[in-house]
Amino acid sequence: MLITHDTRCALDAVVDLVNTAPDTEDAASAETDGLADVAALAEFVRSHDISDVGVLSERDLAGVRHIRGRFHEVFAAPEPRAAATVINELIAEAGTTPRLTDHDGYDWHVHYFAPGASIADHLAADCGMALAFFVVAGEQERLRRCEAPDCRHAFVDLSRNRSRRYCDSRTCGNRLHVAAYRARRKEAAR
């Protein structure tokens, strides 16, 4: 599957957005919310080099948190039709307006958000389209959750044989492999 630069940037942004969500929905989880305030949203925008974003507000933060939950549904979707339904809703609500652009030193690419769109609509349109390409290509199963029982972060499996199981093999994968090794050693010592 060919993934263009702008699609890859949108995939990175949507994965990171979904992974900012707190692990639980209780009041204490506000401390673990990666989008706890407008400053955190501004940092997210800066770190992902998201263009055409004006001054951010609490309303923007609420909008981005809402679409974050919807994108969570896409990664949790059991089959392509369920993912497509959510993606279609996100794209429609964002008022998608495809246009070619070549800003900031990047070659021609497509933006799907309307000029002047809110950050939530911007992310819903661009990230929604990036995920839509996977559903269209029959690759929805590449939109995954980490298999580590204490993690569950979202990721896009871009491995050639669709075999990636963990969001990060150096942390989650390694931790589980070490635990399995120790369990085998302990069992063998008996």
- For residue range 80-124, what is the model confidence (pLDDT) as tens digits? 999 999 999 999 999 888 889 887 777 888 888 888 889 999 999
Provide mean pLDDT across the span 19-44: 80
Position 186 scores a pLDDT of 77
Position 8 scores a pLDDT of 92
pLDDT above 60 (res 28) = no
User: Residue 36: CB partners within 8 Å, gap ≥ 6?
Assistant: 30
Q: How far apart are CA 40 and CA 17, in angstroms?
A: 11
Query: Which of 2-6, 23-27, 167-171 shows the lowest per-residue confidence on average (mean pLDDT)?
Result: 23-27
Beta strands in the chain (DSSP E): 99-101, 109-111, 143-145, 154-156
What does pLDDT average to over the chain? 87
Position 171 scores a pLDDT of 75
**24: confidence class by pLDDT, cuts 50, 70, 90:** low
User: Residue 18: CB partners within 8 Å, gap ≥ 6?
Assistant: 68, 71, 72, 75, 153, 154
